[in-house]
Structure 1
Amino acid sequence: MKKTFELIAPCHFGMEAVLKREITDLGYDIASVEDGRVTFIGDDEAICRSNVFLRTAERVLLKVGSFSAETFEELFQGTRAICWEEYIPQDGKFWVAKASSIKSKLFSPSDIQSIMKKAMVERLKGAYGVEWFPESGSSYPLRVFLHKDQVTVGIDTTGDSLHKRGYRTLTSKAPITETLAAALILLTPWNKDRILVDPFCGSGTFLIEAAMMAANMAPGMNRSFLAEEWKNLIPRKCWYETMDEASDLMDTNVKVDIQGYDIDGEIVKAARANAESAGVDHMIHFQQRPLTALSHPKKYGFIITNPPYGERIEEKKNLPELYRQIGERYKALDAWSLYMITAYEEAEKYMGRKADKNRKIYNGMMKTYFYQFMGPKPPRRKAGDSVEE
């Protein structure tokens, strides 16, 4: 019988419901949903599949224990009580890569890290009957969360964050991460049958993520993961089967209308190169074009975009005119929807209309708003009708 684990998937704050839906769609049961993370139940295959298929998770952690600790002695004893020998082989390399503490009596990350490492060494010394560990084998880095004196301990299965899909080698000034871009698209009703335009395409992230969704392309197909080396926990066969599943599901011949514009020709070149690296360049039409030239003859399209919001003081003076133009060009489109993430708090004022919905989202440490201007739904097509939208 396969061993089951608790797996923790951290995500952007506010995107927990999107990630929960993704995990459920993969076929796994949700154990809990907290701020910035979703915990679910799965086996060794789930570790492979969640790393390869989840679009909105930042990483996947294998939960190994939780306990309460108000003192460093309690932290030491709680860590030592975990059966580390079930996860870390004798030659394994292990350390606490990250510790975060919220509303807890223990708050120094460096002290938490060193005390937990000592406790792990003590436990493994007894388990393996040795005094010294070569740490020459595979890596088992820990991530630890303390919240209200409750310690949650997970081993990172991912390595580089899942937003590093492997396609984005060139970035624009204010790039949005791949995982956040995917989560924002999944918050909209856009699907592959609808037009999608990004008039501030930058690195092309929104468009590339949308094209990958349309082609049913797994976001982790073109990268490696830390847990691929964990032969003691996950058979190599699991990874091969997951990659085969991802290949079988993919359809890059799907017909879409996805367009990206930017006023800067070099940025457009970079976006095109990123799309080529992702294997979706044939699905996206990139063009150097100013915002003032934004138009489309068809109805019921979508704009999903991350416009400039004046990170530098000298750029701020241009924002009222820029957002006035966004409002003007959007108004000229027939029955379209506009979804826009920006840190500019006066966006609605200069666009000349209030958003139907507005969601506060932290992009890193920056407070941003996801403004949602919803156009009408297209009429339902009868069987045999051609796609006009």
Structure 2
Amino acid sequence: MKIFELIAPCHFGLEAVLKREIQDLGYEISEVEDGKVTFYGDAEAIVRANIFLRTTERILLKVAKIKATTFEELFDKTKALPWEDFIPVNGKFWVAKANSVKSKLFSPSDIQSIMKKAMVERLKSVYHVEWFEEDGASYPVRVSFMKDMATIGIDTTGLSLHKRGYRQLTSKAPITETLAAALLMLTPWNKDRILVDPFCGSGTFPIEAAMIAANIAPGMNRSFLSEDWKNIISRKHWYNAHDEARDLMRLDVETDIQGYDLDGEIVKAARENARCAGVEKLIHFQQRDVKDLNHPKKYGFIVTNPPYGERIEEKANLPQLYTTIGESFQRLDSWSMYLITAYQDAERYIGRNADKNRKIYNGMMKTYFYQFLGPKPPRKKKSLE
């Protein structure tokens, strides 16, 4: 059984959540860096990580970590790598993405071109051919330079893992599925507690919460690039992982998950997305203004991604909007509120300082995950039999 190093990228600031997820799947962590977690696993691990992990963007099969400060050095060190261990003679291979931070080699297109040439030279010498048809499975390479150190991996995923397959319709500024899942996992919410998103948009927070509650594997209804890697991954691993995912599902779970939005068409889109995800029975969507937010039960959760004025004309409305959010939250007895926003005056207008505040990069945008903590519910007394 061959053991690989696998790289799981994530949003900056959420590495601890992903690390816990990987450990819960049973794999050993080798390294945690900004925006990625590396772990050890076999061919089956590639499959299970793609199907079960909620908070990573993709799974890369690590080929090597090399230092290169000149293109000549990059060519020689890339050529020295055992590409034949991963790419068969008919494999389609290219350097799909290159990025560089604080490194002497900084041109992505040049890095891509040099590395492709080096890979071709290596495989020509191993397979004793002058021309590659590249009509087989795809093996896209990704390379990331940081301070002259290049981490090289082959993408096992294809379309990013935040593409669960359920979001057919989106609102103006949707939060990604992987980010929504990670933020939910940062809260103490569980399936027995109330959850409301008063700015639900296309429904991502409620849908991800329902999938967590019902234990639905996020990748079970989509395909992956490495399904065609017959030289590395046996088909039985895919069958076994899908069987495992089906066995773990609990669609009969009882939940109180709600999503509101002021736009009726957006609410319809959220319902349709929930139907595509198979969780429409676990969520109540409703057209409702945040000022009308109320709930008779205690100890609930607001988890939301409110508007934060990306357009200049919207910025003028933010003080009143966040004041209203604060007033609605204040009316909810013993609730907690978690909101992600790029609006820096959020606490001021909500009317209280957050108990915790976490900086998270959503793409290139710096956002804040404000956490307003309510009291813990009393423990249920165990009934005496």
Q: Distance in 2 between matches of 1:73 and 1:295?
A: 65
Q: Distance in 1 between matches of 2:363 and 2:146?
A: 20
Query: Which residue of structure 1 aligns with residue 202 of structure 2?
Result: 203
Alignment of 1:1-389 (within 5 A): 2-384=1-383
Q: Distance in 2 between matches of 1:363 and 1:332?
A: 30
Give CA deviations for 1:76-95 in whole Å, capped at 9, x if unaligned: 01100111111101010000
Q: Distance in 2 between matches of 1:213 and 1:141?
A: 31
Q: Distance in 1 between matches of 2:254 and 2:324?
A: 31
- SS in structure 2 opposite 1:296? coil
Q: Distance in 2 between matches of 1:292 and 1:128?
A: 68
Report how far residue 384 of structure 1 moved: 4.3
Q: Distance in 2 between matches of 1:69 and 1:265?
A: 55
- SS in structure 1 opposite 2:6? strand
Report how far residue 102 of structure 1 moved: 1.0
The farther-off stretch of 343-352 and 20-29 is: 343-352
Normalised to the residue count of structure 1, the TM-score between the two structures is 0.98
Give CA deviations for 1:172-229 in whole Å, capped at 9, x if unaligned: 0010000000000011000001000000000100000000000000000110000000
Give CA deviations for 1:253-298 in whole Å, capped at 9, x if unaligned: 1001001111110000000000000000000000011111100000
Unaligned runs of 5+ in 2: none
Q: What's the % identity of the aligned pairs?
A: 74
Give CA deviations for 1:122-175 in whole Å, capped at 9, x if unaligned: 000000000000001100000101111111110000000000000001000010
Normalised to the residue count of structure 2, the TM-score between the two structures is 0.99
Unaligned runs of 5+ in 1: none
The farther-off stretch of 355-364 and 29-38 is: 355-364
Report how far residue 383 of structure 1 moved: 2.3
Q: CA RMSD, aligned part only?
A: 0.8
Q: Distance in 1 between matches of 2:84 and 2:363?
A: 35
Amino acid paired to 1:360: K
Amino acid paired to 1:43: D
Q: Distance in 1 between matches of 2:226 and 2:357?
A: 38
Report how far residue 361 of structure 1 moved: 1.1
Report how far residue 67 of structure 1 moved: 1.3
- SS in structure 2 opposite 1:224? coil
Q: Distance in 2 between matches of 1:88 and 1:142?
A: 11
Q: Distance in 2 between matches of 1:367 and 1:317?
A: 20
Report how far residue 103 of structure 1 moved: 1.1
The farther-off stretch of 61-70 and 43-52 is: 61-70
- SS in structure 2 opposite 1:38? strand
Q: Distance in 1 between matches of 2:66 and 2:123?
A: 19
Q: Distance in 1 between matches of 2:357 and 2:210?
A: 25
Amino acid paired to 1:203: S
Give CA deviations for 1:64-114 in whole Å, capped at 9, x if unaligned: 111111110110011001111111010100000001111111010000000
- SS in structure 2 opposite 1:350? helix
- SS in structure 1 opposite 2:323? helix
Q: Distance in 1 between matches of 2:122 and 2:219?
A: 35
Amino acid paired to 1:212: M
- SS in structure 2 opposite 1:31? strand
Give CA deviations for 1:303-341 in whole Å, capped at 9, x if unaligned: 000001111111111111100000000000000000000
Number of residues of Structure 1 aligned to a counterpart in Structure 2: 384
Q: Distance in 1 between matches of 2:48 and 2:364?
A: 30
Amino acid paired to 1:311: E
